Amino acid sequence: MDAKNIYLGLILIFFILAFFARNIKTYLSTNKSIKGKSVRLTISVLLSTSIYSLIFLRLTVLDPKWILELDISAFKAVKAAGFLFVTIGFILGLLALSAMKSSWRVGIKYDQKTDLITDGIYRFSRNPYFLSYDILIFGYCLIFPSILLIVLYLALVFTFHAMIKEEEKYLQSVHGDTFSDYRRRVNRYFTILSLT
């Protein structure tokens, strides 16, 4: 395995480990289950696991033809952009996980009220962790432009978007005017200029 593949593998491993570390840390600090239950959440877990597995297999043993990978070797800038997106997605994910502290949940836990996080990276995006995931996996799609990987990625993006809309309804019902104000100031995915 060459240095680029090692880098890509380590980024994905640390992204996954950071997610699990945040889950464990939040569970230990709250002594409550932090995982909601919904069909969309189950679908997102299955899609994520499939994407992770496909990327790891591609990095190690899988021949590109088995995942219907397009040959873009003539377009070096596309792969370079992919590395940039992977790196940005990774950093953004770590910032999002860190900022959530004990308000972190996986899906919606209707029986638990958490603080509304609006500082740190959340001043620029209402959903930086979902955004980080989208950016990270988009980077891998540029590096390994597999038709299979791209289809799974698009399905996950649409699933995440549906989850976000459901979560925003929940946050509105719990936090009322505070969430409405936050929503006016900060975009769902990315705000170029924060007014605070």
pLDDT at 122: 95
List the domain boundaries for the chain.
3-185
What is the 3 state secondary structure string of 75-88? Answer: CHHHHHHHHHHHHH
pLDDT at 112: 78
**Could you tell me the end-to-end alpha-carbon distance of the chain, in angstroms, rounded to an integer?**
46
CATH class (in words) of the domain with range 3-185? mainly alpha
86 neighbors 11 (Cβ within 8 angstroms): yes
Give pLDDT tens digits for 80-107. Answer: 999 999 999 999 999 999 998 878 888 8
139 neighbors 89 (Cβ within 8 angstroms): yes
Given phi > 0 = left and psi -120 to 50 = alpha, else beta, which region is 72?
alpha
User: Bigger pLDDT: 31 or 139?
Assistant: 139
Give pLDDT tens digits for 157-181. Answer: 999 999 999 999 999 999 999 999 9
Model confidence, pTM: 0.91
Give pLDDT tens digits for 9-57. Answer: 999 999 999 998 988 888 888 888 878 888 999 999 999 999 999 999 9
Record the tokens describing residue 161, joined without a space: 């978007």
Res. 196: pLDDT tops 70: no
